[in-house]
């Protein structure tokens, strides 16, 4: 793939906010010409797909509603959050699930990875499934406002089809969920403790 | 959902690059406290899922391989591109398909919308399907390097499962494709001319 490659010549800060860090690099393209690439440097994130077994054995999903300021909209999402410096993604998955929803999970499986914006961010989101949920108390940051609710897989799929779910990571979670529930894709579940050592 | 809402107090440029425009707003949260929100202002984009009927009637998908500098990786993607100022999304879909792959399509259907990064970008991607493809010549920008190739739907699904496809918009396209091909989700196809007037 050498004919597609781009080579870094210079890298400089375009801006450093309190949340967003943007770089502007000068690159050499494979045809020898120069170009610039501007992109957000991101620490990475984790999304959790929490599977809740109802008292009657029916599967429900734990979801969130959160106001997303850039879109000026309340968005339906699976629990997710940024990885802390030096944090293991599996640790982050357990922490975010507990902080945002109060749930702890006995069984975990890593599904895969997604890149939300390949054109202008280094962000990668690790996708985890959680089951064997035990309810507990949420520990939201003081200024973190979000609603937790549950839905059936078929409700979620309907919302994806009808445009009520537009968050890319949550739509990707729906792809995983559909194929896991149909048996087409397999997850490698492990218990919370074993998962931790695998994840490290 | 008033308890989730955030209200803009001040908006200011954090930086203005040649490609990325980043704002930093001061907002009032629903609990009355102040916070800042930093985010990329994006004109919106379009993705096309081009369905190619083989000579033997088998369905193939038109895909691209492109070096994505922020990730320092060659990424597999469906054709996509930014909407020009004042451009209609359907016009953008036809333009990007023709420029990047050379194909023109007789039939078009709008599937939905996705938001790649709800936390820090206003970007929305319109999802279109195209069929009745007629091959023609690509018109890439001088410094645009990408490979066009085809794959079967089951090859694509395997790559999504195995982590060879990690681009969020392409994974969301796979969700649409799987449900359209199974008959679970319906598309409203129209021919190129009718589609144009619908899209406007």
B19-54 confidence digits (pLDDT tens): 999 999 999 999 899 999 999 999 999 999 999 998
Nearest to A145 among B4, B24, B74 (CB): B4
Decide if A10 touches B, using CB distance below 8 A: no
| B33 burial via Cβ count (<10 Å: 0-12, 13-18, 19+) | exposed
Tell me what pLDDT residue A187 has. 97
The per-residue pLDDT for range A98-137, each reduced to its tens digit, is 999 999 999 999 999 999 999 999 999 999 999 999 999 8
Query: What ipTM does the predicted assembly reach?
Result: 0.95
Q: Helical H runs in chain B?
A: 89-101, 153-162, 168-182, 192-199
Q: How far from B40 is each of A38, B13, B76, B120, CA to CA, in Å?
A: 11, 10, 24, 6
| Higher pLDDT among residues B137 and B144, named by residue | B137
Partner-chain contact A6 B37, CB within 8 Å:
no
Contacts of A14 in chain B (CB under 8 A): 15, 17, 20
d(CA B62, CA A24): 31
For residues B56-68, average pLDDT: 95
Q: Is B143 helix (H, G, I), strand (E, B) or coil?
A: coil
The per-residue pLDDT for range B119-143, each reduced to its tens digit, is 999 999 999 999 999 999 888 877 7
Partner-chain contact B19 A5, CB within 8 Å:
no
Other residues' Cβ atoms within 10 Å of the Cβ of residue A41? 14
- Collect the ranges in chain A with pLDDT lower than 70: 193-200
- Which A residues in the span 154-183 are in contact with B, Cβ-Cβ below 8 Å? 157, 160-161, 163, 166-169, 171-172, 174-175, 178-179
Partner-chain contact B119 A70, CB within 8 Å:
yes
Contacts of A25 in chain B (CB under 8 A): 69
Residues of B annotated catalytic, as ranges: 142
Backbone angles phi, psi at A53, to 5 degrees: -90, 120
d(CA A95, CA A46): 10
Contacts of A31 in chain B (CB under 8 A): 143, 145
d(CA A180, CA A182): 6
Q: How many A/B residue pairs have CB atoms within 8 Å?
A: 207
Unique residue bearing structure tokens 């210079």: A10
- Band (pLDDT 50/70/90 cuts) for residue B191 is confident
Decide if B120 touches A, using CB distance below 8 A: yes
d(CA B172, CA B170): 5
């Amino acid at each position: 793939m050498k004919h597609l490659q781009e080579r870094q010549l210079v890298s400089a800060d375009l801006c450093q906010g309190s949340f967003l860090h943007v770089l502007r690099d000068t690159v050499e393209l494979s045809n020898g010409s120069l170009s610039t690439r501007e992109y957000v440097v991101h620490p990475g994130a984790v999304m959790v797909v929490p599977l809740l077994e109802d008292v009657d054995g029916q599967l429900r999903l734990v979801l969130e509603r959160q106001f997303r300021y850039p879109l000026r909209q309340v968005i339906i999402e699976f629990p997710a959050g940024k990885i802390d410096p030096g944090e293991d993604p599996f640790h982050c998955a357990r922490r975010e699930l507990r902080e945002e929803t109060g749930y702890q999970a006995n069984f975990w499986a890593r599904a895969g990875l997604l890149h939300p914006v390949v054109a202008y961010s280094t962000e990668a989101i690790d996708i985890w499934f959680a089951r064997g949920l035990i309810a507990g108390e949420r520990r939201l940051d003081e200024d973190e406002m979000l609603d937790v609710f549950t839905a059936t897989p078929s409700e979620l799929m309907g919302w994806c089809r009808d445009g009520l779910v537009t968050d890319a990571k949550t739509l990707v979670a729906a792809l995983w969920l559909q194929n896991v529930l149909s048996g087409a894709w397999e997850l490698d579940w492990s218990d919370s403790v074993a998962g931790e050592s695998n994840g490290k």
